[in-house]
Structure 1
Amino acid sequence: MVFFSWARPSSEDWKSCIDKSDSFNYEAKYRGASASPLSSLEQDKGLSKDGFFFNHKRVLVGSGVDAYEKGKTALQSWRHFGLDWAFVDPKTRTQVGEKFCVCVKEFLPWVMMPLKVVYVEEKKGKEQQPLSSFSFGSGTLQGHLLAGEERFSIELDEKNQVWYEILSFSKPADILSFVGYPYVRLRQKYFAQQSANAVLKHLNASQSPE
């Protein structure tokens, strides 16, 4: 089952999508795998053997603790999905077990794709090691066009730089995505760039005037 809507999905539309999607549509052994660095995933022969492809984007979005905290808030309020053609209900909680729906405009119809938060991780920096990070990963549910997992993270590194990162592994889960997978891959890369721009816009707008 694939969830379509000819108009921008209403709350009733995406709530119905979530209610009808109970189980994950990818292998249990890969549940939570997106928490690992890209280098580790690329060495996992099982992922490539099972047909998964990676999508990765890491962008410098600011510097300092204040920018990091604002970036974390941006993820928790789904500002990284603040796009004209893609959105998530901003009230969705970033906590393990939370189900939500990504709504994406594709040509004429909107597509609603159900997911569930698989993990949430946060690391607090120390004086001797000023490294902090916040991330969460979500897995695809039955009814999603793809099968796999995606992680969004914000990180303050040892150089006081703030990075926004998207990492996912996925493969077609429906005949539509199988036939159009080259297009799907391009859309994933386009979303990664647009999402990074949305986070940058939020951080810049949040800065106090001089």
Structure 2
Amino acid sequence: MPTLRLPFTPFYLGPPSEEERAAVEASTARLPFTFPHPGVTQAAPPLPPETASEGWTLDHHKVQVGHGCAAYDRARCLLQQWRHFDLPWASTNAPAVKPGAGVVVTARTLFAWSCSPLRITYAEECPLRAGQLPPWAPAPPPRPKGATQLHTSCGGAGGGGGCSGGGAAAARGAGGRAHQRQAEQVATMRPPKGRRYAFAHTTLEGHTIKGEERFSVAWNQDDDSVWYEIYTLSRPASWVTTLAHMLLRAYQRKFAQDSMAAMQREMAAAGAGKR
């Protein structure tokens, strides 16, 4: 039986039915992107200056999940199995991770549910790029009090620790300042030595936001650490999500924290199974 949908919104008053989720999944093959720069996260951070200057909300979260080549291989498999999205309040249709695959994110927020379409823009495994900040790089130094900046968080391998780089870069020009700081940071670093597996999905018409989200795991061959990373550009896609922007931001932060915790949990379970 179809779930009641709120008029002129992407929200449902209950979990979308299997038929409704299947219809959204089928639509991902024909729906247009709502983000104007598909694939831009592939070489970020930093972003290209022209993208950074557009004032997208930038979120960058990372957490250490293990050590060594075997841990990197496990983390890559978990990412391909969508275990980073195995959350009590959010899930996906878990398609094969390849460019062009349609993704449907079903999520519960307070009293409402959403069923949002995306398409995988790229999937790759390669050495870390010169000129790209690796996930283990420290957050750029904070701006003076009152300056809007990129939101960054990180956690230790134990799962409890974290650090915050401040508020979101939502105002026009803030993305440019974050880009400048990241470019300066890259200029002082030697080329990273490591490997990364990454893929991104980009929003389609009908999603609650506009943007792109990259998930990646990376192996730092200098100290053997393995990292899980989420890098996101976004903004509200409709008047409804614009009005509920503070709530939207709270759930974006909740997703990042819950996803990092899920990867740490899955990595610990996978490691225990290997012994």
After superposition, the C-alpha distances for 1:102-142 in whole angstroms (9 at most, x for unaligned) are: 111011221011000001110169xxx96221000111000
Match of 1:133 in 2: 196
Does residue 94 (structure 1) correspond to residue 97 (structure 2)? The answer is yes
Does residue 177 (structure 1) correspond to residue 241 (structure 2)? The answer is yes
Write the mapping of 1:16-165 to structure 2, written as runs, cut at 5 A.
16-21=23-28, 22-27=31-36, 30-38=37-45, 40-41=46-47, 44-49=49-54, 51-90=55-94, 92-123=95-126, 131-158=194-221, 159-165=223-229
Query: Structure 2: 5+ residue runs without aligned partners?
Result: 1-7, 129-191
C-alpha spacing 1:115/1:2, structure 2 compared with 1 (3 Å) = farther
In the TM superposition, structure 1's runs of 4+ consecutive aligned residues that sit over 4 Å from their partners are none
Letter in 2 for 1:144: H
Match of 2:3 in 1: none
Separation of aligned partners in 1, 2:90 and 2:63: 20
After superposition, the C-alpha distances for 1:50-107 in whole angstroms (9 at most, x for unaligned) are: x4110110111111111111111111111011100000123x1110000110111011
After superposition, the C-alpha distances for 1:152-206 in whole angstroms (9 at most, x for unaligned) are: 0000112210000000101111111111112212211111111000001111111
C-alpha spacing 1:143/1:46, structure 2 compared with 1 (3 Å) = same
Q: % of aligned pairs identical?
A: 30
Letter in 1 for 2:33: F
Q: Whose radius of gyration is greater, 1 or 2? A: 2
| TM-score, length of structure 2 as denominator length | 0.68
Separation of aligned partners in 1, 2:12 and 2:243: 21
Query: Structure 1: 5+ residue runs without aligned partners?
Result: none
Match of 1:186 in 2: 250
